[in-house]
Amino acid sequence: MKVLVPIKRVIDYNVKVRVKADNSGVDLANVKMAMNPFCEIAVEEAVRLKEKGVVTEIVAVSIGPKAAQEQLRTAMALGADRSILVETDEEIQPLGIAKALKAIVEEEKPEMVILGKQAIDDDNNQTGQMLAALTGMPQGTFASEVNVEEGKVKVTREIDGGLQTVELKLPAVVTTDLRLNEPRYASLPNIMKAKKKPLDVKTPADLGVDMTPRVTIEKVETPAERKAGVMVGSVDELVEKLKNEAKVI
């Protein structure tokens, strides 16, 4: 079966985020960018399913600037067979992305869409669910285990109280949580091979979708800093402070 893996180019996981002085957003100039960590897990899961013989073709897709080709090349180095970039320099938001992905789903007709549960920039956690709604597919969000069976997939989900397993009819959308797998690193030969794999570039207009943002960001601020605390020298002092100064025990 064919799997579609949407991925996002985001600020690298290890970069310390700085808010711009004019409060218009986060400073991304000269900052290291990478594939969103949850998307890496999605690519890895698709690759593992291909290695098991369940999946026959993996198509990676990204919606974003030209530079997102780097992340698509990474996905192909990790095992995706080909990729599609829907190129736009405009601000994109989950509903618009879901609409673009729906158009891709209609063209590609995958039996499963595996994507990260959230991107670590906007922390929205929406795109997979929205895509599922727009395409009328069932969804298995926050997956920690994925088992494909005949015509269906069983997804174990990380929920607040523990784990929940659901069974979804295919085609289905699965969003990945951290513990689903540990992504591999791309090997040098595979990075070289990925350069020759096909990468199609489309525009939102080609897909005929309206990706106009519905939400405007009025301002972005640095959160209130916690004021520096004190070091205590002993457990006794700690207990005394918690009882008499902080009055929390």
Partner 1 sequence: MSVLVYAEHDNATLNKVTLSVLAAAKEIGGDITVLVAGKGCGAVAEEAAKAEGVSKVLCADNDAYEHQLAENIAELVAEVGADYKHILAAATTTGKNFAPRVAALLDVAQISEISDVIDGDTFKRPIYAGNAIATVKCADEKKVITVRGTSFDGVAAEGGSASVENLDVVKDSGLSSFVSEELAKSDRPELTSADIVISGGRGMGNGDNFEILYKVADKLGAAVGASRAAVDAGFVPNDMQVGQTGKIVAPQLYMAVGISGAIQHLAGMKDSKVIVAINKDEEAPIFQVADYGLVADLFEAVPELDSKL
Q: Which parts of 180-239 interact with partner 1 (CB under 8 A)?
A: 214-223, 226, 228-236, 238-239
Pick the binder of partner 1 from 126, 180, 183, 204 (CB under 8 A). 126
75-90 CB burial, b ≥16 within 10 A, e <16? bbbbbbbbbbbbbbee
Pick the binder of partner 1 from 163, 187, 193, 195 (CB under 8 A). 163
Residue 167 in the binding site for partner 1 (CB under 8 A): yes
Helix (H) or strand (E) holding 133: helix 127-135
Q: Looking at 52-60, 75-83, 165-173, 197-205, which segment touches partner 1 (CB under 8 A)?
A: 165-173
Residue 162 in the binding site for partner 1 (CB under 8 A): yes
Residues 83-122, one symbol each (x = binds partner 1 by CB under 8 A, - = not), give ----------xxx--x-------------------x-xxx
Residue 31 in the binding site for partner 1 (CB under 8 A): no
Q: Which of residues 36-75 bind partner 1 (CB under 8 A)?
A: none
Taking the least distance from each CB to partner 1, the nearer of 27 and 51 is 27
Taking the least distance from each CB to partner 1, the nearer of 174 and 199 is 174
ω into 204 cis (within 30 of 0): no
Residue 40 to residues 124, 152, 158, 176: CA-CA distances in angstroms? 17, 24, 18, 9
Neighbours of 37 (CB within 10 A): 18
Pick the binder of partner 1 from 165, 192, 195, 206 (CB under 8 A). 165
The span from the CA of 154 to the CA of 170, in Å, is: 10
Q: Looking at 11-19, 56-64, 77-85, 185-193, which segment touches partner 1 (CB under 8 A)?
A: 11-19
Q: Which of residues 135-154 bind partner 1 (CB under 8 A)?
A: 136-142, 144, 154
Comparing CA positions, the residue from 114, 120, 126, 111 lying closest to residue 61 is 114
- Phi–psi pair at 178, nearest 5 degrees: -60, -35
Length of the chain (residues): 249
